[in-house]
């Protein structure tokens, strides 16, 4: 906890949950958190509605089983709960239609990276990410 992890309450929206995951994983690396303890640690950062959701899940399966949940499965559960498919589709549409407006490449790049984080299945492979990025640039920049 000395690494001061971010908390998550469930109201932060899709970008918030993905950033929470990123920050958690950074804390795991910095603190050398063992794989078996990552879900236990992550759930200590939950607040409000997210904590209520976790406590309900833990009560239904038992706390030992809940804490034994692999991190990838925990993340999928959290995404299912707090990043509904309709929101994912909205971000995918934005990523698919993203175009450079004007000449602000830095703004375009930041928006692209944020959307790519939200839609990892669209740009899983590096060459797909590069192709998608270039497609949104104006012809003279391409």
What's the predicted TM-score (pTM) here?
A: 0.64
Beta-carbon contacts of 3 under 8 Å, excluding residues fewer than 6 positions away, are: 27, 30, 31
Measure the CA dihedral 98/101/105/107, to 10°. -70
pLDDT number for residue 10: 81
Position 51 confidence tier, pLDDT thresholds 50, 70, 90: very high
Q: What is residue 8's DSSP assignment?
A: B
Position 52 confidence tier, pLDDT thresholds 50, 70, 90: very high
Task: Return the closest-CA partner of residue 64 out of 39, 98, 87, 31.
Answer: 39
């Amino acid at each position: 906890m000395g690494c001061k992890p971010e908390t998550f309450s469930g109201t932060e929206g899709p970008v918030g949950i993905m950033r929470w995951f990123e920050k958690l994983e950074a804390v795991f690396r910095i603190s050398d958190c063992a794989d078996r303890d990552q879900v236990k640690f992550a759930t200590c950062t939950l607040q409000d509605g997210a904590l209520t959701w976790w406590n309900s899940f833990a009560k239904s399966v038992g706390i030992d089983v809940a804490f034994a949940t692999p991190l990838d499965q925990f993340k999928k559960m959290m995404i299912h709960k707090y990043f509904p498919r309709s929101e994912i589709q909205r971000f995918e549409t934005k990523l698919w239609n993203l175009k450079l407006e004007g000449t602000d490449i830095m703004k375009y790049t930041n928006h692209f990276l944020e959307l790519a984080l939200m839609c990892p299945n669209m740009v899983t492979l590096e060459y797909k990410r590069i192709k998608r990025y270039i497609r949104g640039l104006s012809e003279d920049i391409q």
